[in-house]
Amino acid sequence: MDTEYWFCLKHHTVEPREGCRNADRLGPYASQAEASRALDKVAERNEDWDNDPDWNDDKGQSEA
């Protein structure tokens, strides 16, 4: 089964392929459950990137 789901950023709902425009949603995800956690996943990734020294040049540098 090739069913995919998206998380709509305008409506904060899980949608099938026939939903809002792609610019307003995250995905595709393999399941409704996975799509429903889209914002949690974004927050987790942002936290990881904020604490990754390869992506944060300001850490450990003194302010001028």
**46 part of a folded domain:** yes
pLDDT at 61: 54
pLDDT in tens, 1-56: 579 999 999 999 999 999 999 999 999 999 999 999 999 999 999 999 888 888 76
**56 part of a folded domain:** no
Number of domains in the chain: 1
Domain that holds residue 19: 5-50
**19 part of a folded domain:** yes
Task: Output the six-digit token pair for 59.
Answer: 């850490």
pLDDT at 64: 47
**58 part of a folded domain:** no
**12 part of a folded domain:** yes
pLDDT at 60: 54
C-beta of residue 9 within 8 angstroms of C-beta of residue 25: yes
**63 part of a folded domain:** no
